[in-house]
């Protein structure tokens, strides 16, 4: 898909993008944004390869969900809002390139707890409990598709432990009890409530009994008739 300078009619998604820029979200957060609608925003005027107002393709390659062909053209027809927010962060200079962590609290947490545990499906996670959760999801029949440390589709930079696309919900494991961690937990819970995001919260006692506790919690959010084996 070769993008060019187009001016589509202003619609709900365009309005949502502008509202996101000032930190106000007024649309359904999981709605996917047509790529051509991005061109309504000055930061996204594109000619040929996906490069705009000093934002290069290399700066954007770290953003999940962006797909480029061999010539450097963006192939996506739509993007989830979390990817759009990453593009906004790069275009406005908040981040030097996509995939970077700008939030100092999040950056400090990742430095303190590096991802050093390798799961069966290839994710590197930050704790043995997350290892157990990830492997449990992967070893179901069929496996429950999931993403690790997916950015929330909100203006604030925050990441969930796991994202389950089939039910459009998140899983958070609360594994520490330090004052710093409790404050981080409080802020993240507030984001889930503010933006109406569905989340399953797990603690240590849940992880020790995943077979008994997790299926019931998952079935509350998975499509009707879904079977966990």
- The pLDDT, as a whole number, for residue 32 is 57
The reply to whether 170 falls in a domain is yes
Report pLDDT digits (tens) over 210-225. Answer: 999 999 999 999 999 8
Q: Is the pTM of this model over 0.85?
A: no
The reply to whether 151 falls in a domain is yes
Residues of the chain with pLDDT below 70 are 1-55
Full residue range of the structural domain in which residue 206 is found: 104-219
* 69 and 121 co-located in one domain: no
* 146 and 179 co-located in one domain: yes
Report pLDDT digits (tens) over 26-76. Answer: 333 344 555 544 544 433 333 333 434 456 777 777 787 788 777 777 777
The reply to whether 97 falls in a domain is no
* 111 and 31 co-located in one domain: no
- The pLDDT, as a whole number, for residue 152 is 93
Cα 206 from Cα 174, distance rounded (Å): 10
- The pLDDT, as a whole number, for residue 92 is 80
* 204 and 120 co-located in one domain: yes
């Amino acid at each position: 898909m070769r993008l060019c300078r187009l001016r589509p009619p202003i619609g709900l998604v365009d309005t949502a993008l502008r509202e996101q820029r000032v930190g106000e979200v007024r649309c359904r957060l999981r709605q996917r944004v047509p790529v051509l609608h991005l061109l309504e925003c000055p930061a996204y005027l594109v000619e040929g390869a996906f490069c705009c107002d000093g934002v290069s393709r290399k700066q954007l390659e770290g953003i999940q969900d962006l797909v480029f062909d061999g010539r450097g053209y963006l192939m996506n027809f739509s993007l989830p809002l979390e990817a759009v927010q990453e593009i906004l962060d790069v275009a406005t200079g908040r981040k030097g390139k996509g995939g970077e962590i700008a939030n100092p609290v999040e950056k400090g947490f990742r430095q303190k707890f590096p991802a050093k545990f390798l799961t069966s499906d290839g994710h590197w996670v930050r704790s043995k409990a997350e290892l157990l959760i990830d492997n449990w999801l992967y070893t179901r029949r069929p496996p429950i598709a999931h993403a690790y440390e997916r950015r929330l589709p909100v203006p604030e930079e925050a990441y969930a432990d796991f994202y389950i696309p089939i039910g459009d919900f998140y899983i958070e494991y609360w594994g520490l009890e330090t004052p710093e961690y409790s404050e981080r937990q409080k802020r993240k819970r507030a984001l889930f409530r503010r933006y109406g995001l569905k989340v399953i919260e797990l603690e240590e006692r849940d992880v020790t009994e995943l077979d008994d506790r997790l299926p019931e919690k998952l079935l509350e959010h998975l499509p009707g008739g879904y079977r966990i084996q």
